[in-house]
């Protein structure tokens, strides 16, 4: 699918991987809706790239529906591209110093990362299936964000790894379901990327993490995620698959 002239929505688009993707999509000629809980940051970015900002909580059906409708109404051809980057990474062991970790600590991460992805995916795809097909028969493309933690999660990543593993696992069945409707579904599983979450760590720790990546031995750049997201949109044979974007990293237990 050509990006130029298409309407796109990026959930979690105000920072990190989402911000880089929103910028790249806009640079390729898309009309981008930046959907994020951080309404002020989303508004600033949207103004910069010539898009629109929508305050959005991916765990709230009404909030996501409003964001999708805001995107769909911006073009006669409807919403064509949806990228979901919204997520949280709170760490917690199964058993803490005072015993089993409270269930709500796990539930919040899974609700945002997995249920939030499903919520965004179902509503974005629901809008796309009503679009007229393009010359290749496509009606839309959805790109989800997992993590290498889905495959080799570390100690303390119980909920995070489970939530991202769920995103990995839903990719194929959803792609199969939507194939007959002309909507493709893909997932990117990033490794260690230089995002705002990583920026909270001391420089020494950041350098050590970057050095743990086989090649290139550094943290990934959000622009590299955006590059892959845009390639997925433009390559019609990419469907129902998860791509690790990690420099051959395999996470150690700790």
Write out the catalytic residue numbers: 160
Instruction: Enumerate the β-bridge partners of residue 242.
Output: 187
Q: What is the rounded distance in angstroms from the CA atom of residue 50 to the CA atom of residue 52?
A: 7
Three-class DSSP category at 79 = strand
Dihedral sign from CA coordinates of 70, 117, 14, 220: negative
DSSP notation for 52-73: EEEE--TT-HHHHHHHHHHHHT
DSSP notation for 127-153: HHTTSPP-TTS--EEEEEE--THHHHP
**What is the Cβ-side half-sphere exposure of residue 182, based on CA atoms within 13 angstroms?**
16
- Residue in 180, 163, 117 with CA at minimum distance from that of residue 144: 117
**What is the Cβ-side half-sphere exposure of residue 83, based on CA atoms within 13 angstroms?**
32
Q: What is the rounded distance in angstroms from the CA atom of residue 191 to the CA atom of residue 212?
A: 11
């Amino acid at each position: 699918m050509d990006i130029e002239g298409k309407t796109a929505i990026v959930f979690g688009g105000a920072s990190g991987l989402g911000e880089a993707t929103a910028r790249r999509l806009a640079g390729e000629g898309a009309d981008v809706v930046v959907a994020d809980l951080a309404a002020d940051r989303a508004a600033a970015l949207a103004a910069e790239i010539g898009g629109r900002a929508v305050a959005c909580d991916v765990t709230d059906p009404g909030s996501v529906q409003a964001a999708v409708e805001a995107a769909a109404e911006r073009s006669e051809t409807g919403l064509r591209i949806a990228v979901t980057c919204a997520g949280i990474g709170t760490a917690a062991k199964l058993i803490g110093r005072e015993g089993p970790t409270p269930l709500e600590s796990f539930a919040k991460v899974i609700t945002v990362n997995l249920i939030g992805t499903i919520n965004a995916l179902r509503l974005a795809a629901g809008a796309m299936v009503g679009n007229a097909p393009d010359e290749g028969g496509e009606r839309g493309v959805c790109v989800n964000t997992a993590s290498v933690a889905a495959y080799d999660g570390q100690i303390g990543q119980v909920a995070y790894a489970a939530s991202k593993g769920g995103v990995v696992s839903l990719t194929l069945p959803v792609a199969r379901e939507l194939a007959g409707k002309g909507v493709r579904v893909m997932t990117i599983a990033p490794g260690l990327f230089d995002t705002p979450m990583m920026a909270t760590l001391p420089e020494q720790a950041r350098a050590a993490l970057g050095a743990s990546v086989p090649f290139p031995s550094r943290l990934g750049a959000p622009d590299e995620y955006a590059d892959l997201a845009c390639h997925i949109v433009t390559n019609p044979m990419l469907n129902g698959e998860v791509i690790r974007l990690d420099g051959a990293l395999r996470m150690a237990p700790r």
